[in-house]
Amino acid sequence: MDVNIELNGQPVTLNGPLTLWDVLQKQRLTLHRPQEFAELAWINNPRCPLVNLLEVDGQVVPLAVRAELPVREGMKINTSSVQLDSVLKERLTHLRDRQQCAFIARLQEFTAAEAESNGMVDLEQRAQWDFLMRGSSPSVFHDPNACVRCKACVDTCNDTQQVGALSFDEEQGVLFDDAKCTRCGQCILSCPMGFRKMTDFVGGMMGCAPCPFSRPLGAMREVDDTGKVWNALKDPEKYVVVQFAPAVRATLGEEFGVELGELVTEKLYAALRRLGCRQVWDTNFSADLTIMEEGYELVDRLKNGGRLPQFTSCSPGWIRYCEIFYPDLIPHLSTAKSPQQMLGAVAKTFAAERLDVDPRKMFVLSIMPCTAKKMEAAREEMNSAYRYWLEKGTIQADEQFPDIDVVLTSREAAKLLKMAKIDLAGIAGEQPDPLLGQYTGAAPIFGRTGGVMEAALRTAYEVVAGKPLDTLEFEALGTMEGVKVATVPVNGIDVKVAVAHGLGNARKVCDSVRSGGEFASYHFIEFMGCEGGCIGGGGQIIPTTTLTRQARTRGVNRDDREHAIRKSHENPEVEQLYKDFLEKPLGHLSHHLLHTTYVDRSQQAASSTAATE
């Protein structure tokens, strides 16, 4: 049966019956693509409902939805038209400017409709909003026009974290107190507009999962730096190296369909190498290095009457929290930098020299489970490598550079790999590059609550007692209880240690130390800004729930137990680093590269509060 249609303005007679898809195949037609949008190259979905469009009888329709539509007599089909070009440019402009898929954004409106049905927001009024974007640079970003006024982020900030950086105004919506914000990112995890049940269900039917734009963006989200990294990877003048945090290896696979808690360490080494990174290193190496510095610092304080209890310093959200609300307790903080910052400093000094790479051209990418790590990398004192080379006379004063160039969250890292069309689940595993890649079992447990404490005790005990611990695991410190305690006998002294995770729990311990209460008599206290530690960080894959935290914790614990070497001071590359470069823990060079100072930020927060009253 012949069917007469109009195809791109020309009369065509075809032998039917046919579907729209049949017509495209038989006529060898391609769909229209505006050429000026780089984002088109990143879309990894041949059925993409955002850009695979046809115009049928004057109506723009997605091919994925209408592919099986029967062609009827007189139908007008266009693969290119003024209307199609206009719709595509509008969608791609939205994608370019907001890094958000309009199709996924429309699915998110089911959440907005639910919020309206619960009396939280009027969607007609919401459609008229035109608020300026808000946030806490360089970490957290808020789109008030996407907000459904549920106040989940405000409750998380005020009740769970007890920070008080977010408030709610009936007219303006969620407001930021930037001076109080710790950049922990827990508000992002609580935003229902970022939840993905509906988008994963419908997007799954449309084949959206491999696309970098398939993740719904909440009204609360991280500042997206994937573009900076993409450009650096394409820049021949930049020597891109990468590190990724302990918790990331037990989390990132979730975005690629891997089972909860499954380790993707070796796959990630391979994927980052395919991405174009010249050296693929591991933050677990510098976690071991951190234990050397922080552990020896604890031993020094115990032996020489230093300020106790010593507080850990790996969590930048916790550090900022202490600087804002407990500046009088700053002397308790370990001066040891976090593993992220230690690796950056060593990469642009020791490794740059060994590799004969100009440190000014080395671009250190850091993949973290944490939005606060973006802020930490941007702290003005985090440029130790620059100061090292300046003192040597190798560079000029106006050639300043940071130790870490860009921090991506786990979510951004997944997006970046998808931009490069890399399937993490399907790639064969590889090993890290030498110099800064080896790690012991003590390093991966940095990613969960109690892990830093446990790793530190394995080394500090052996340094003081001259023999290893009877057991390397402290079950009481690895639970999900908010505040945990233990006592470790060391050479006749009962060393009292505690662990707190989540800033609300940190407040309880800090109040006790400040008032001379129970925890003032402790020797060593681990603080993590997020519930569960880094496995529950504000930059982690959504959803981050009790179930996912538990699975990720099992993953990093398994990584520890499967290592033949489980104590940081036995890491061969760390030993070599001290032998060839640093000389010794707490030495002169270690002090300059691996330790830092802190800032009393209480007056800034107080001034901000007064200004809003």
- Assess whether 294 carries a catalytic annotation: yes
Residues 6+ apart with CB under 8 A from 203: 103, 104, 107, 209, 214
Q: Provide the strand spans (E) within 27-117.
A: 53-56, 59-62, 76-78
- Which is the catalytic residue, given 259, 381, 475, 562? 381
- CB-CB neighbours of 159 under 10 Å: 11
Q: Which residue has the tokens 């509008």?
A: 90
Reply yes or no on whether 191 is catalytic. Answer: no
Q: Which of 39, 255, 293, 297 is catalytic?
A: 297
Whole-number Å distance between alpha carbons of 141 and 133: 7
Amino acid letter at 234? K
Write the CB contacts of 221 (distance below 8 Å, at least 6 apart in sequence): 140, 141, 142, 143, 188, 191, 194
Catalytic (active site) residue 376: yes
Judge whether 534 counts as a catalytic residue: yes
* Cβ contacts of 37-42, under 8 Å, gap ≥ 24: 37/92, 37/93, 37/95, 37/96, 38/96, 39/92, 39/95, 39/96, 39/213, 40/92, 42/211, 42/212, 42/213, 42/418, 42/419
Given 139, 277, 534, 568, the catalytic residue: 534
Q: Which of 294, 323, 454, 526 is catalytic?
A: 294
Catalytic residue among 180, 337, 373, 418, which? Answer: 373
Q: DSSP code of 433? A: -
Q: Is 297 a catalytic residue?
A: yes
User: What are the beta bridge partners of residue 11?
Assistant: 6
Cβ–Cβ under 8 Å, residues 530 and 239: no
The residue from 39, 376, 526, 573 that is catalytic is 376
Six token digits for residue 191: 């935003």
Catalytic residue among 334, 384, 512, 590: 334
Q: For residues 57 and 497, give the distance between their C-alpha atoms in angstroms, rounded to a whole number.
A: 73
DSSP 372-403: HHHHHHH-TT--HHHHHHHHHTSS-TT----S
The catalytically annotated residue of 101, 157, 191, 314 is 314
Q: How many CB atoms lie within 10 A of CB 13?
A: 9
Tell me the C-alpha distance between 438 and 284, whole Å: 8
Go through the chain and tell me how many residues it has.
613
Residue with tokens 């310093």: 313
**For residues 226 and 220, what is the distance between their CA atoms, to the nearest angstrom?**
17
Q: Is 314 a catalytic residue?
A: yes
H or E stretch including 95? helix 82-98
Strands (DSSP E) found in 474-556: 483-490, 493-501, 524-528
Tell me the catalytic residues.
294, 297, 314, 334, 373, 376, 381, 534
